[in-house]
Amino acid sequence: MSSQLAALNDWVAQVARLTRPEHIHWCDGSDAEDQALTAHMLESGDLIALNPDTHPHCHLHRSHPSDVARVEHLTFVCTRDREDAGPNNHWMAPDEAHAKIDALFDGCMQGRTMYVVPYCMGPIDSPLSRCGVEITDSPYVVANMRRMTRMGAAALARIEHEGSFVKGLHSTGELDPDRRFIMHFPEELTIKSYGSGYGGNALLGKKCHALRIASWQARQEGWLAEHMLIVGIENPQGEVRYVAAAFPSACGKTNLAMLIPPAAFRDKGWKVWTVGDDICWMQPGADGRLWAINPEAGFFGVGPGTGARTNANALAMLNHDAIFTNVAVTADNQPWWEGIGDGEPALDWQGRPYDPAQGPAAHPNSRFTVSMHNCPSYTPEAENPRGVPISAIIFGGRRRSLVPLVTEARDWTHGVLMGAAMASETTAAATGQVGVVRRDPMAMKPFCGYHFGDYWAHWLSFDRPGTKLPKIFQVNWFRRGDDGHFLWPGFGDNLRVLEWILDRCENRVEGRETAIGTLPRREDLDLDGLELPADDLDALIDIDVAAWREEAEAVAAHLAEYEPRVPAALKQEQQRIAAALAAS
């Protein structure tokens, strides 16, 4: 046995002594194992079989009603130096954190099976990929990790060859909100999660590893771990260019990743290819470009709002071999949520007869888990070990006002400031009040594993001689008119904006210079087949200078929260924009 596997075995034995499981099962990722786990969960009630005629091999899981979203106030980054975690994270000293959570783990798996889950984040043979091992007592977690990662024997073989892996320990515990923690130890490449079965808290390969721990690794190793989709846009000439885009959860990332071109564009030959919908790891290539992989192998998407009009590709991939969490069901046992388009709910997400007085039928953060191979717009490039070259990086969020439809940064530093200043209205993906505007730099506020000032400095460090960095843009699909209506149709029509973005990357189209960046002119957007009132278009591509002066002051105050580690270049860029606005 290699020393690497010996170290893994020692850790598994150590965890077993602490948690005292009845059985230990090393997961191999096989079909037979998945079928046996599914049968076990059907028997225990952890899973409920859905209609086999309409949704073969699909199952429903119902969470405890107190365990339905990420719990940011119970999520800690435990670095030796408190300042390294930054004001963007809750911090606890590592020794204190280990003691507190290990006391909860003590004996917690008695009478349960302990599953050892080796997994690879990214294509199994990619140098950009990183491995981990999650130990869990939840078969639901195992089933999801099988769909979300490259899990099993191949990952174990890579760990043996490579020697390095992230350690993740998870138990559902008693599902008591007062006995729940998600702890990250970046310097130890370790995660400990107790008391939750919800995806973002329990599927440790996802946000915990692929963002919080990986962002720390990426800073040390010279790459970027980002909360971004990756999508390929194929034009009528057959050229495919790739875009990475960061949006806070439930702001349309999956819809954009699986975008279906509007009819006028389809007729011309435009196609869209899905590489990933949530996480992007980027590294400079020998050619100076940023190359990206999707570290995930599946989708853990939000159900409500996903329908034939908003995301037909997502709906089409959910007809077989999917796990649904906290959705409603129809009388004939099909999954249902608000916005799905067809059917009526019979039972709500808690299994009660549906009564509108008790709230939505599906939980607003109800989810589906499915392999990315199910997606009609899936591209084999998602398995390319080299990754795909990124032409543009896009930042976006929900803003009712202020932010135009699309803005191009003047250079990399301006683009980093654009990302650092991002703000969005909160959604149901995290516990807390919905609809509040909060700063969410690069859509990473809940996920960056270290101080934001250091993180922005790391972004700025990529701008060096010999690089061919992507252009950076900001978009806002969510502008509303004075009467509350959305000014932009969104969904498939967002391709019209992506076309302008990619043409700007190739210097094929003009724009209008403003104090906040370059905006399209009316004639620069292809609006063929779109009935958009002229007043709405004008509002979308105009800026309110007075409001932006206030925004510039708010951005300065936001940056000041991360002193003294804010890069001087970022502060100078903010001052440059404020001066340009003052002169407008």
Reading the chain (584 residues) residue by residue, the pLDDT tens digits are 677 789 999 999 999 999 999 999 999 999 999 999 999 999 999 999 999 999 999 999 999 999 998 888 999 999 999 999 999 999 999 999 999 999 999 999 999 999 999 999 999 999 999 999 999 999 999 999 999 999 999 999 999 998 899 999 999 999 999 999 999 999 999 999 999 999 889 999 999 999 999 999 999 999 999 999 999 999 999 999 999 999 987 688 999 999 999 999 999 999 999 999 999 999 999 999 999 999 999 999 999 999 998 999 999 999 999 999 999 999 999 999 999 999 999 999 999 999 999 999 999 999 999 999 999 999 999 999 999 999 999 999 999 999 999 999 999 999 999 999 999 987 655 656 666 788 999 999 999 999 999 999 999 999 999 999 999 999 999 999 999 999 999 999 999 999 999 999 999 999 999 999 999 999 999 999 999 999 999 999 999 999 999 999 999 999 999 999 999 999 999 999 999 999 98
Name the residues annotated as catalytic: 251
227 in a known ligand binding site: yes
193 is in an annotated binding site: no
* pLDDT (0 to 100) of residue 562: 98
pLDDT at 542: 95
What are the CA-CA distances from residue 334 to residues 58, 309, 354 (Å)?
9, 19, 14
DSSP structure class, residue 327: -
- Interatomic CA distance for residues 344 and 302, integer angstroms: 19
pLDDT for residue 370: 98
The whole-angstrom distance between residue 308's C-alpha and the CA centroid of its chain comes to 22
200 annotated to bind ligand: yes
pTM: 0.96
Report how far residue 271's alpha carbon sits from residue 495's, in angstroms, rounded to the nearest whole number: 10
Helix (H, G, I), strand (E, B) or coil at 324: strand
Q: What pLDDT is recorded for position 249?
A: 74
165 is in an annotated binding site: no
Give the C-alpha separation, 296 to 291, whole Å: 16
Residue 58 annotated as binding site: no
Known binding residue 198? Answer is yes
Q: Packing angle between helix 412-420 and helix 568-583, nearest 10 degrees? A: 90
Pairwise CA distance, residues 555 & 518, whole Å: 19
Q: How many CA atoms lie within 13 A of 361 on its CB side?
A: 22
492 is in an annotated binding site: yes
485 assigned to a ligand binding site: no
Bond preceding residue 360 cis, omega within 30 of 0: no
Per-residue pLDDT, 251: 83
Backbone angle region of 381, left / alpha / beta, with phi > 0 → left and psi within -120 to 50 → alpha: alpha
Is residue 574 within 8 Å of residue 417, measured between CB atoms? yes
Q: What's residue 432's pLDDT?
A: 66
d(CA 400, CA 584): 23
Whether 274 contacts 379, CB under 8 Å: yes
DSSP bridge partners of 272: 233
* 153 annotated to a ligand binding site: no
Contact at 8 Å (CB) between 263 and 492?
Answer: no
Question: Annotation-wise, does 494 bind a ligand?
Answer: yes
How many residues does this entry show for the chain?
584
Q: What is d(CA 463, CA 287) in angstroms, rounded to the nearest whole number?
A: 14
89 assigned ligand-binding residue: no
* 367 is annotated as contributing to ligand binding: yes
What domains lie within the chain, and their CATH numbers? 3-49+66-222 (3.40.449.10), 226-297+380-543 (3.90.228.20), 299-366 (2.170.8.10)
Closest CA to 34 of 115, 155, 149, 142: 142
d(CA 410, CA 208): 33
Which pLDDT belongs to residue 430?
60
140 is in an annotated binding site: no
- List the one residue out of 324, 310, 394 whose CA is nearest residue 63: 324
- Give the residue carrying structure tokens 């919080």: 212
The closest alpha carbon to 493, from 302, 301, 272, 279, belongs to: 272
Query: What pLDDT was estimated at residue 70?
Result: 84
